Amino acid sequence: MKADIYKHQNDPGQLEALYRSNKVKFRREFNLVYHELKGSSLADFWNERLNYESDSISWGTKKELIFVITVSLIAGLIAKIPNLTGLDPEFFYPRNIGFIVFPMLAAYFLWKQKMPVKHWFIAFGVNLISAIYINLLPGDDGSDTLILACIHLLLILWAVTGFTFTGQKLKDLQRRLEFLRYNGDLVVMTTILLLAGGLMTAVTLGLFELIDLNIEEFYFQYLGIWGLAAAPVIATYLVQTNPHLVNKVSPVIAKVFTPLLLVMLIIYLGAVIFTGKDPYNDREFLMIFNILLIGVMAIILFSVAETSRNNTSRIGALTLLGLSIVTIVVNAVALTAILFRISEWGVTPNRIAVLGGNLLILINLLLVTYRQYQAVKDQSKLEQVENSIASFLPIYVLWAILVTFIFPVLFNFR
């Protein structure tokens, strides 16, 4: 596309056609060549069109604000079900915590994008079936298959939200990548809101304590839990109506934490060897190792998504490549450890679930790393890195469906 932009730099109609054919790619390629076209009135116009950001805060329409408040209140009501019904919180929250947030986010995107009724039925049909299933699933708090189902159900509900976000462009890989970017922005904005809410809570409780009124229990029961439930919905609303609020923060986080994470991983692997920690025989250590792997993989996906939205230097691309390579080493250690444990102590639901998850992450990492290596040599191939991530997302979802709905039956609910 870069060559086409050069070729048609003085043709408004052709530039518009290129933009409409792939808006994300056009913006990235145009920003790469703009310094060479700067001074041309048409190029300057496109630069303003693509990169202009308002400093003002938009609160959307009145209808949208009412809808967001309503959905936030519903999220709070779902979170309060144990208090309102007397249901055991230890039973309710592990099984239903995903239903506090994800259906509300799905409703927002369905409403925001004016999706057909068919999409509403699909999204809430999946949520309803999942809610009935997980709450009727036998097993006590120590059941491995129940715990696995509860964890992987979150990924399924996340995927349903992704379905509503992409709208009628489910097969569009760029739209899937935009969903990943939204998740990064959502984490940033939700964190900001929770920090602000925590500060307000501390000040409020402190002020009432000064006048000898203890409102702590009332505050957390009726305000705190509602605020926690509503935070992701309000954060989504702010991100969607004011993308400029965080689209400068997310790239900075990606650029700062990618090299720091690379250094930390290298030091950590060295420390593991030095201390003699053994993931092959230490179950708790292997569990932490796998949590680390999932967290690093999520940061890699987020960093690649941000790289595609904002031009990155060659050093940044090399750092991301290095992080991917080191993560493959971490994955290889975790994978061999779980294979060793299966050969020594047999098959269990947890071991098979971890083995399957590690294999998927390894395959995805190898694809991403190979594409990143190509992109370091030729930045125009960055789109292939994006596609290797976006095209792999449904495979993770299929695995989550298998673990959630098949594993309990396959392993007799143990």
Where a domain ends, among 240, 269, 289? 240
Same domain, 252 and 338: yes
pLDDT for res 164: 94
Where a domain ends, among 240, 265, 292? 240
Same domain, 305 and 229: no
pLDDT for res 47: 81
- Start-to-end CA span in the chain (Å): 55
What's the total number of domains in the chain? Answer: 2
Mean of pLDDT values over 155-165: 94
| Within-domain flag for 44 | no
Q: Is the pLDDT of residue 379 over 80?
A: no
| Within-domain flag for 5 | no
Confidence of residue 24 (pLDDT cuts 50, 70, 90): low
Same domain, 120 and 269: no
pLDDT for res 26: 78
Q: Is the pLDDT of residue 79 over 90?
A: yes
Same domain, 187 and 291: no
pLDDT for res 174: 81
C-beta separation of 401 from 133 below 8 A: no
CA distance 142 to 136: 16
Q: Is the pLDDT of residue 224 over 90?
A: no
Same domain, 103 and 234: yes
pLDDT 10s digits, 275-326: 877 778 777 777 887 888 888 888 887 777 666 555 556 777 788 888 889 8
| Within-domain flag for 31 | no
Residue type at 32 in one-letter notation: L
Mark residue 413 as left, alpha or beta (left: phi above 0; alpha: psi -120 to 50; beta: remaining): left
| Within-domain flag for 199 | yes
Angle 263-269-271 from CA coordinates, rounded to 5°: 100
Q: Is the pLDDT of residue 70 over 60?
A: yes
Same domain, 168 and 256: no
Same domain, 180 and 313: no
Mean of pLDDT values over 128-142: 87
Q: Is the pLDDT of residue 60 over 80?
A: no
Please report where in the chains the tokens 């408004």 appear, as a residue.
12
Is-above-0.75 flag for pTM?
yes
The boundaries of the domain holding residue 159 are: 62-240
CA distance 107 to 115: 10
Same domain, 200 and 283: no
| Within-domain flag for 252 | yes
Where a domain ends, among 240, 263, 287? 240
Confidence of residue 29 (pLDDT cuts 50, 70, 90): confident
| Within-domain flag for 29 | no
The percentage of the chain sitting over the pLDDT mark of 70, rounded to a whole number, equals 92
| Within-domain flag for 40 | no
DSSP character string of 297-318: HHHHHHHHHHHHHS---HHHHH
Please report where in the chains the tokens 């569990």 appear, as a residue.
287
Q: Is the pLDDT of residue 136 over 60?
A: yes
pLDDT for res 67: 92
Q: How far is CA 17 from the centre of its chain?
A: 32
pLDDT for res 248: 67
Q: Which residues contact 135 (CB under 8 A, 6 or more apart)?
A: 95, 96
Q: Is the pLDDT of residue 53 over 90?
A: no
